[in-house]
Amino acid sequence: MGYYNSPEPQKKQKGYFASSFTGLIAGALLVGVVFPGFTDSDAAMQETSTSAAESTPNNIQNVSAVVTTDVTKIVDKNSATVVGVINLQTAAQNPFAPTAQTESQEAGTGSGVIYKQEGNAAYIVTNNHVVKGAEKVKVTLSDGTELDAEVLGADVWTDLAVLKVAADSVTAVAEFGDSSVLKPGEPVVAIGNPLGLQFSGSVTTGVISGTERAIPIDINEDGTEDWESEVIQTDAAINPGNSGGALINSQGQVIGINSMKIAQDAVEGIGLAIPINTAVPIIEDLETKGAVERPTMGVSIMDLQRVPMQYRQSQLKLPEEIEGGIVVQSVSPGSGAAEAGLEAYDVIVELDGKAITTVLDLRRHLYNETKVGDTVAIKVYRNGKAVNLEVELAESL
């Protein structure tokens, strides 16, 4: 108490203030040297904020910050290229329902990627299963604009389809990358519409978990594997509705078309996409021809494994050592197989010197290693004897 009433301390207090003020100036100069970017306007803004805070110390102030990352840049570049795809089909008619209720209804939704704009048209790649059975297809752009779409073509083997829409409202086109150079651990972003258009433009991130994965597919759902798709594996979340959406690399390039998700109770975090290098030639065929050109021999076939053992001996007369192969059920008149002399109940065991044990082996060889117009060497067993033939492959659309 006596300290504050004494005249001496007041003088010292004055001197202390002067000394402190001098130190403050020196400190300010030092700050000006260390942080030359701190401008007068910055100081004014800081002073205004400080004054407001001092005058109303109980106020809660919001600080606005715009965050930009590699992911946000990728999304900004590509979000307008990913669209919603709506599959419309006529529902079963109720004889007691009003006419309006028998019109086309939504049978499913998916995603698509705008990959090309030419003249008044824009082209979209999506999945075959997204538009399968559609009587009408609509496309929803990222801004909500709804367009009628024409299905130019679809391919069940690769699960790809191409759509065409009017280009008036299209503002962006995706850039394709190179899926052959992908590495496990490489970051990726998936954009699509999981669970329908309610969550349109959803973004998930992850890494490349594996490349060149082979996934068996039962096309006709008869319990037998008909084809084997090469896919990219990622842990970026891909759910129903993401099908047909884009898998994008760190450069903002589309390197895969999201296609399916392994749905098993014991499996989590496995998403699959069709490599863009595999998709491009299919897309080109679907856009220009409406179907994919693939070579065919002109036969109807089945796996030897599906023939009971007793018939292999009594009817096919196969040697006991032949355990795998393809049974010819019928031969199309005028086909390459018919011209070469292939007959029903012949058992194909080799193509171009390579062992063929299943229908999948045969399709893999024809679709991946030959083209229309090629001649393939075939070894078959007929009535217990080996026969060598040459078949010219024709076009199958």
Q: Give the list of residues 6+ apart from residue 183 with CB closer than 8 angstroms, or none.
A: 208, 211
The answer to whether the beta carbons of residues 137 and 112 sit under 8 Å apart is no
Give the Cα separation of 283 and 200 in Å (integer). 24
The catalytic residue among 155, 159, 303, 346 is: 159
The catalytic residue among 129, 179, 346, 361 is: 129
The catalytic residue among 111, 202, 243, 335 is: 243
Reply yes or no on whether 169 is catalytic.
no
The answer to whether the beta carbons of residues 124 and 160 sit under 8 Å apart is no
Give the Cα separation of 11 and 14 in Å (integer). 5
Q: Within 13 Å and on the Cβ side, how many CA atoms surround 366?
A: 25
For the chain, give percent helix, strand, coil, nearest 5: 30, 35, 35
Virtual torsion, Cα 367, 368, 373, 374, nearest 10 deg:
-120
- Please list, residue by residue across 94-113, b when 16 or more beta carbons sit within 10 angstroms of its beta carbon and e when fewer do: eeeeeeeeeeeeebbbbbbb
Q: Give the list of residues 6+ apart from residue 365 with CB closer than 8 angstroms, or none.
A: 351, 352, 354, 356
Hey, which residues does 388 pair with through a beta bridge? 379
Reply yes or no on whether 250 is catalytic.
no
Reply yes or no on whether 365 is catalytic.
no
Q: Is the dihedral of CA 79, 80, 81, 86 positive or negative?
A: positive
Hey, which residues does 204 pair with through a beta bridge? 190
Pair of tokens at residue 126: 């999506």
Instruction: List active site positions.
Output: 129, 159, 243
